[in-house]
Structure 1
Amino acid sequence: MATDTNAAAEVAAGAPPGMPQLNIDTFGNQIFWLVLALLAIYFVLSRVALPRIAAILAERQGTITNDIAAAEDLKAKAEAAEAAYDKALADARAEAQRIAGETKAAIQADLDVAIEKADAEIAAKAAESEKAIADIRAGAQEAVKEVAKDAAQDIVALMGGKADAKAITAAVNDRMKG
């Protein structure tokens, strides 16, 4: 209750009740200090803080611009490298196909020569074989004629007849001719 009596004593003494900031008598003084504080803050910010902030922002913007330019330059270099790689790859494929074609042609030429040589050897062996077969056939026909003559003489002798060698040879020769 002591505080109630103090407040009542101040009101009775003529002091206005409430906050001192809202006291109309001190508004001029408060406005002066408010303007002075705002001017001090403005000058500190405009002369010290804002130039530093602007310099940092400009530096960041410059860095970003330089990085973007470097990225575009690297992108152009990468595209050029990719184009060169694609061209080199296409050239290598064309060269490989050319070499493969030349190798295939060379192999085909060697194969043709080998086939011609083999055909010639086969033809020579076939001619030798046909000659050997013809010789064997001729020898076989002679052997058949001899066997036929001997058999005919033996058959005639077994039957009790006498066979003339010229007649048997003529008969065998007629039969062999067809």
Structure 2
Amino acid sequence: MPQFEQIDTFVGQIFWLIVTFGVLYFLMAKVALPRLASILEERENRVSGDLEKAERLKQEAEEVLTDYQKAIADARASAVAALKESADEIAATSAKRQAEFDAQLSEKVQIAEDKINAARSEAMGHIKDVAKDVAAAATSKLLGTDVTDAKLSKAVDEALGEQN
């Protein structure tokens, strides 16, 4: 190996080491490192720009979310108010219809009661005649003889007088 050989080659090796180191140092200092520094600076600028953009978008998203939640709350409040208003209208309409139905029903009940009372009065008026006819038919069938109208009227009047 040449590095272990005699001193006369050692000086040449040191010279070329210094020359090579100087050239590499110059190339690294003037060419490669400035390029790397610009690339790193560009990346840092891009990353910081992206972070700022992300922060801005996050704030916009939070504002949109806040507006959305407010709109939802307003819509719910509006829906509740509309529902309450509709329920009140329905209740008022229902109460009005119920009152109308009650009035019609009361009128029909009154008419029916009047008809029943009229029929009862008419029936009570005819009960004396029916009682006389029944009594006449029963006595003629049982006794086999006809009873006079005056006797039948007197007997029916006595029977009806005892009931009242």
Could you tell me the TM-score, scaled by structure 2's length? 0.88
Q: Which one of 56, 64, 79 corresponds to residue 73 of structure 1?
A: 56
Question: Residues 169, 20 of structure 1: CA spacing in aligned structure 2 closer, same or farther, 3 A cutoff?
Answer: closer
1:119 Cα deviation from its structure 2 partner: 0.2
1:55 Cα deviation from its structure 2 partner: 0.3
Q: Which one of 42, 51, 55 corresponds to residue 59 of structure 1?
A: 42
Size of the aligned set, in residue pairs, is 159
Counterpart residue number, 1:128: 111
**Structure 1, residues 114-151: CA drift from partner, whole Å, max 9, x if none?**
00000000000000011111112222223332211111
Is it true that 1:91 corresponds to 2:74 in the alignment? yes
Is it true that 1:173 corresponds to 2:160 in the alignment? yes
What letter corresponds to residue 72 of structure 2 in structure 1? L
Is it true that 1:143 corresponds to 2:126 in the alignment? yes
List structure 1 runs of 4+ shifted beyond 3 angstroms. 154-158, 160-163
- The 3-state SS of whatever aligns with 1:43 is helix
Listed as ranges, the gaps of 5+ residues in structure 2 are none
C-alpha RMSD of the superposition: 1.8
Question: Residues 91, 81 of structure 1: CA spacing in aligned structure 2 closer, same or farther, 3 A cutoff?
Answer: same
Question: Residues 74, 81 of structure 1: CA spacing in aligned structure 2 closer, same or farther, 3 A cutoff?
Answer: same
Q: What are the equivalent positions in structure 2 for 1:21-32 lying under 5 Å apart?
A: 21-23=3-5, 24-32=7-15
Q: Which one of 6, 22, 31 corresponds to residue 39 of structure 1?
A: 22
The answer on whether the counterparts of 1:145 and 1:172 sit within 8 Å (CA) in structure 2 is: no
1:98 Cα deviation from its structure 2 partner: 0.3
The answer on whether the counterparts of 2:132 and 2:153 sit within 8 Å (CA) in structure 1 is: no
What letter corresponds to residue 49 of structure 2 in structure 1? N
Listed as ranges, the gaps of 5+ residues in structure 1 are 1-18
Percentage identity across aligned positions? Answer: 35
Tell which structure's C-alpha radius of gyration is larger: 1
Which whole-Å CA distance do the structure 1 matches of 2:159 and 2:112 have between them? 29
Which whole-Å CA distance do the structure 2 matches of 1:176 and 1:109 have between them? 53
